[in-house]
Amino acid sequence: MSTNTATSVSTGCFVSKGKYKRANEINYLPDEDDKFIKHRLKHYAKQWDELSVQIDVLRSDLNAQIFDDLVAFILSCHKDRHDIHRLPITEIPTAVLVTGVNTPDHGVMFSNMNYIIKAKVTPFVARLLPKDCLRISSLINSIYNQLTNTLINPEDIDLDDSFIDESIDVDNTVSLKKSVRRKRTVSMSTLSKWYSEKCRTYVDDQSPRKKAKTFASPRKKTLDLKSVDETEKQDSKPHIVIMIEDIENMNASVLHDFISLCSSYLSTLPIVLVLGIATAITAIHQILSSSTSSLMCMEKFHAPPASQYLTHLLDKLIMTPSIPFKLGPKVLNFLLDNFLYHDFSIVNFIQGFKLCMLEHFLRNPLSELCCPVEDVDAIASKLTQAEIEHFRRHPSFMRYVEGTPGPVQAKTVSDCAAVKIRLAQEVKNLHSFHKVFFPTLSFLHCLGQNLPKFPLGKHLRELYSTCLSETIQESEGYKQAFFFLRLMCFDELCELLGSCLKTIESQTSEKTLLRLNEDVNKFRYRLKHLDDEIEESVPGEAEIKILPQRAKLHELKEKLQSMSSSRKRSPYERLREEILSYLDNHFKCSLVSPMSLSLHEVLYFNELAAVKEQIRPSPRYAIQTALTEPGKLLSCPCCQCGSDSILSSMPDLCIVYKLHLECGTLVNLYDWLQAFVMIISSNNGPENQKKSKSKGPTVEQRARFIRAVSELQFLGFIKGTQRKTDHVTRLTW
Amino acid sequence: METIESSQQQVEEYTLGRRVLCRQAQIKTLMSLFGQRYHMTPGSLFVYGHTGTGKSLVIQSLLLYLKLPHIVMNCVECSSPRFLFEHIFNNMPKGNGVSNTNSANTDDEYTDCEDMTSFIRQLVKAVTDNGLRNETLYIVLDKAERLRDTNVHLLPALLRLQELSELNVCTILISEIVWEKFRSGTGLCEPYCLHFPDYTRQELNEIMCLDAPASCDKELYALYVNIVLSVFHMVCRDLRELRHIAKLNYPYFIEPIQKGDADASQARKLWRNIEPHLKKALNSVYLREVSSLQWELMQQAEFDQSESDISKSAASRSHMELPYYSKFLLIAAYLASYNPMKYDRRFFAKNSGRISKRTKLIKKNVRTSNHLLGPKLFPIDRLMAIFYSIVEGNVMPSAQIFIQISSLVSLHLLCQVGGEDKIAAPKYKCMVTLDFIRSVARTVQFDIMKYLYDFL
């Protein structure tokens, strides 16, 4: 822009290195006059950190079994390869890992696996993604780079601990080496040469180095945990594990070549393949020919299904009193639907959960108090006058105040200290309610688990979501479940009560639950000693009258019905009735819908509208609303109108869009242009209109029209057609 | 006496120390072709035969046995001639006179080579450097059929390598296809062709007996191999596959003997014991989906259940879980692929009207099954229209739905077919089988047979 650049002889583009801007979360906060948002951000960060740690633990627990199996498999491979007496069977040991269709989750799983195999089995692990493997040469290159880096890396880390300056040098040399490598052709023979050389050194200094490592850095202990017997490792060379993440998306011919290469180099390279398959094992045969698949010796592993993972996640993280933040019924159902109906992806579910949590802390001032129960008092006492004022303006707090009785109401409006105490009390009430609520819920779930047609839902999550959205006693499923329970026979009921008790056995801190436990135990005792029950004297017997001589038919029917209902019940039936009515009462007390509790907004996030667009975007709907009602989007006063009318003040694109909605499949461009010109010239007054009509559209109008039409084409609403000249096809309906 | 001894020695020689069986004729030919170390050999050899007939094994073991200087290259790797050239230089064997001292620092010795001309020049130099002038250098190119796909001039030049470099070099091509398929360009010098015929049953038997575990009597194992071959020789002659099967089922064969239920001489009893296992294995020849351990577990489970569950196990192999809407999308795609477009209105519109008797009659006569013709293309609009008419409830056309279509494509359940317009109006094809779609439809309680034109 300055004169200096203008005088330059050659024109060119100069790169000026700008400052790298690190995104700062403070800048993204809505700049309302909410000064306390930073507090809440801190709360959020703390809670999310705890939660994410728990999620990681859960994930590794869930996959522990399959990883152990895999590691055992990899260790057991290539055992008999030194048996010279026989012809070698040249089969590549292959673990086929059926991962399920939720592709976004696989990345995490494979990186965990990579980590575990490196720690427990061998340092030589390469992980291939379909994008690396467009050609066989690039595939081998990628393997080579990953494998050669494995042995450089540990030293890097070691250096990192002591000399930071030197590590930079090492990095440089590594990158230099890489660039030299790249010029050369890397083939499998290069790899095998490298391997044999590395092997010699690796086996030599395997044991001392390892010991040194464990002493030097105790934080790496987890890596060495459960590692293989050192002696065993020294005997055999370390395996090379090659993981291919997504077989379906690999180029089939490249994969074919790679496998045949592997099998031909198997005598020098102890390769173990791990193939990830998203669909089913038959996919292998669709991709590979039998000549190739016979080169492998496959063993199948099934990753736990995503739905099981979800159940775990819900049990441990959502349906638990230990985490203060809770999802309301609308949001929870939305997230669950998204998971079950759309993608089966846990990663997306967790992201959605995180977004909800963020929204909650961002929008709701009351979320200041959304914290573990131990901290409630401390935080409540620290609330300032201004913050309480801020609370008072929030609708949910107002609702709460209105619900309270008169004198208390007056106090909450005026007295700050009283408000603090009341708030703390209410939140603590919520927490203690949760402590009873969840075990009771699982008790009820256990009760209804084996009933025909699952009136209470197959999963605990279904029961939970009905509980959230309505009072459980009034729901259809609950009534049906109790109807079935009333028909239950003796043995089943005994067994059922026993298994139900197990769900609440561990919870001994809550009084309500202890009482429930005791009472149910008493009932069980009585069931077992049913003979000792005192016979109930039935007074009804005397009352049975002889029917009048000439009774009408319906009278007779009534009579018989009343007789059958009042027939003598067995002691078991009476006891069953007693048990069930007891349980019903108990559920009535402790399974209240949390949404009906006062100030539940502190912990519950139920504003679906705030997160729906982000979690399940619908771009086409958004574009269409923007085009039909531009006034809302642009918030300009002149375009405010209903969705049908067309105003000349609207943007050209909107006018063109609205006009084309009136046409059929094919749109005549000339008619379209005429209609467009009509509309944009309509506000110019009658004289102008006449003028333009006689002359036809001006150049400017035509240009505007063409521009709008091409924008519409860019948005994907129309496209050109060969069928008729000067026509375009509509693509949407 | 002497003759016996010399023939014994010959056998020893022609089986390369009893390591390669049943290939004596071929080895004899090769040995006479190779001659002494310093003899000139034919410039090029072409060795062909089916997979698993011991081509690579014979060549490689022969070269090792006679300690001849050689370089082995798998042509699968050879995506460009450069790979081949550099591989040859970097694996150049050392002659007798040259010491082996500086082999360690290979990094500095790496040779670059770009084209044929410099290859021949450098080859002469390398051969002289390594002291191989007086010996035949063998260059073995395995899977030679791949060389046809690279540079057109590469194969003729390799065949004439002896002539071009004026060295004692022999190029050995190993391939599974016949030489006639290699003749494409000009300038091909006809190599000496050597055919490796398939093993006969006796030969297979003999070779497979080599696998006998140490604990097992040789004769007993021969009996076992014979049993296996009697079942499998009809369907499968691949040595590799047969060995795999033999290895898998051996524990069942040996089980009664180890338990003491049967004697090694009771062939009939052993046969009756192993037969059902082998019949089971016949169902999964070439599948290779399980290792021996899992195979055992599977067999056990199947024996525990009734025999009628075989179809069920086949279904469970291809079973997969899909999200709810993905299932409906897949069903919609299947319907769009196999139903004629003009009947969509009849299946999915509310008031479709009745079909007149005449059209029904005509249809009966004319119609060929769409299932025989295979899946047809359909545009995405049709897919979405069918999807919205079969799915229950109100589904918003969100981005998630469209993501599911592309993830179905990446799972190879749908297939995107290139039209002229891949973004605005993509076209797809459904790739799943009827059985699969029926099992999917059953999980969502959708009676797909009612909607398929072929089954009305």
Of residues B214 and A98, more confidently modeled: A98
What distance in Å separates the CA atoms of residue B425 and residue B427, rounded to the nearest whole number? 7
**A540 token code pair:** 């009804």
Q: Which residues of A touch B289 (CB under 8 A)?
A: 96, 281, 284, 298, 300
Which residues are B170's β-sheet partners? B138
**B418 token code pair:** 């290139």
Whole-number percent of chain A with pLDDT over 70: 79
Contacts of A58 (CB under 8 A, 6+ apart): A312, A313, A316, A317
Q: Which residues of B touch A619 (CB under 8 A)?
A: 399
Q: Given an 8 Å threshold on Cβ–Cβ distance, is A298 in contact with B424?
A: no
Please identify among residues 276-305 of chain B the ones whose CB lies closer than 8 Å to any CB of chain A: 286-291, 293-294
Over the stretch B333-372, which tens digit does the pLDDT of each residue have?
Answer: 999 999 888 888 888 876 655 555 555 555 555 667 788 8
Q: Given an 8 Å threshold on Cβ–Cβ distance, is A294 in contact with B241?
A: yes
Q: A292 with A257: CB under 8 angstroms?
A: no
Q: Given an 8 Å threshold on Cβ–Cβ distance, is A719 in contact with B424?
A: yes
What distance in Å separates the CA atoms of residue B263 and residue B277, rounded to the nearest whole number? 19
SS (H, E, C) A610-624: HHHHHHCCCHHHHHH
Q: What is the mean pLDDT of residues A702-722?
A: 89
Q: What is the mean pLDDT of residues B264-274?
A: 80
Write down the pLDDT at residue B294. Answer: 57
Q: Which helix (H) or strand (E) holds A139?
A: helix A136-162
Q: What is the mean pLDDT of residues A566-586?
A: 80
| Per-residue pLDDT band at A228 (split at 50, 70, 90) | very low
The minimum CA-CA distance between B213 and chain A, rounded to whole Å, is 9
Nearest CB neighbour to A294, from listed B210, B286, B321: B286
The residues spanned by each domain of chain A are: 77-157+171-205+216-304, 309-532+569-604, 618-730
Look at residue B55 and tell me whether its pLDDT is greater than 80. yes
Question: What is the Cα B213 distance to its own chain's centre?
Answer: 27
Whole-number percent of chain A with pLDDT over 90: 4
Write down the pLDDT at residue A673. Answer: 92
A91: left (phi over 0), alpha (psi -120 to 50) or beta: beta
Write down the pLDDT at residue A98. Answer: 86
| Per-residue pLDDT band at A704 (split at 50, 70, 90) | very high
Q: Give the burial string for B197-218 (b: 16+ CB within 10 Å, else e).
A: eebeeebbbebbbebbeeebee
Q: What is the mean pLDDT of residues A421-435?
A: 86
Q: Given an 8 Å threshold on Cβ–Cβ distance, is A101 in contact with B321?
A: yes
**Which of A347-356, A662-671, B257-266, B297-306 has the weakest average pLDDT?**
B297-306
The minimum CA-CA distance between A716 and chain B, rounded to whole Å, is 6
Q: Given an 8 Å threshold on Cβ–Cβ distance, is B410 in contact with A103?
A: yes
Look at residue A172 and tell me whether its pLDDT is greater than 50. no
User: Across the A/B interface, how many CB contacts are shorter than 8 Å?
Assistant: 163
Q: Given an 8 Å threshold on Cβ–Cβ distance, is B412 in contact with A283?
A: yes
The minimum CA-CA distance between A321 and chain B, rounded to whole Å, is 30
End-to-end CA gap in chain B: 84
Write down the pLDDT at residue B334. Answer: 94
Over the stretch A374-409, which tens digit does the pLDDT of each residue have?
Answer: 888 888 888 888 778 878 777 778 888 777 777 777
What distance in Å separates the CA atoms of residue A424 and residue A418, rounded to the nearest whole number? 10
Over the stretch B110-127, which tens digit does the pLDDT of each residue have?
Answer: 677 778 888 888 888 888
Which of B80, B105, B321, B328 is the best residue to mutate to test the A interface, defined by the most A CB atoms within 10 Å of its own CB?
B321
What distance in Å separates the CA atoms of residue A300 and residue A296, rounded to the nearest whole number? 12
Q: Given an 8 Å threshold on Cβ–Cβ distance, is A101 in contact with B288?
A: no
Over the stretch B122-162, which tens digit does the pLDDT of each residue have?
Answer: 888 888 888 788 888 899 998 888 888 887 888 888 888 88
Q: Which residues of A touch B82 (CB under 8 A)?
A: 185
Q: Given an 8 Å threshold on Cβ–Cβ distance, is A620 in contact with B397?
A: yes
Fold that domain A77-157+171-205+216-304 belongs to in CATH: Rossmann fold (3.40.50)
The total number of residues shown for chain B amounts to 456
Q: Which residues of B touch A621 (CB under 8 A)?
A: 396-398
Residue among B239, B240, B204, B196 at smallest CA distance from B225: B204
Q: What is the mean pLDDT of residues A246-275?
A: 86
* Long-range pairs of A143-152 with CB within 8 A, sequence gap ≥ 24: A143/A191, A143/A242, A144/A181, A144/A186, A144/A190, A144/A191, A144/A194, A145/A178, A145/A181, A147/A191, A147/A194, A147/A195, A147/A240, A148/A181, A148/A194, A149/A174, A150/A118, A150/A123, A150/A124, A150/A125, A151/A123, A151/A198, A151/A202
Contacts of B228 (CB under 8 A, 6+ apart): B208, B242, B245, B246, B249, B278
* Phi and psi angles of residue A22, each rounded to the nearest 5 degrees, phi first: -85, 130
End-to-end CA gap in chain A: 49
Q: What is the mean pLDDT of residues A585-603?
A: 83
What distance in Å separates the CA atoms of residue A520 and residue A516, rounded to the nearest whole number? 6
Nearest CA in chain B to A286: B412
Mean pLDDT for chain A overall: 77
Of residues A598 and B419, more confidently modeled: A598
Query: Strand ranges (DSSP E) for A485-638?
Result: 604-605
The minimum CA-CA distance between B362 and chain A, rounded to whole Å, is 32
Distances in Å between the Cα of B82 and the Cα atoms of A705, B112, B189, B329 are 57, 8, 22, 48
Q: Which residues of B touch A344 (CB under 8 A)?
A: 321-323
In the sheet that A125-128 helps form, which strands lie side by side, from edge to edge?
A: A125-128, A240-244, A271-277, A92-98, A296-302
> Which of the listed ranges B119-128, B229-238, B420-429 does the model predict with the highest average pLDDT?
B119-128
pTM: 0.78
| Per-residue pLDDT band at A158 (split at 50, 70, 90) | very low
Over the stretch B279-310, which tens digit does the pLDDT of each residue have?
Answer: 877 777 666 655 555 555 565 555 555 444 44
Q: A344 with A306: CB under 8 angstroms?
A: yes
Nearest CA in chain A to B57: A87
Over the stretch A316-365, which tens digit does the pLDDT of each residue have?
Answer: 888 888 888 888 888 999 999 888 888 888 888 999 999 999 888 888 88
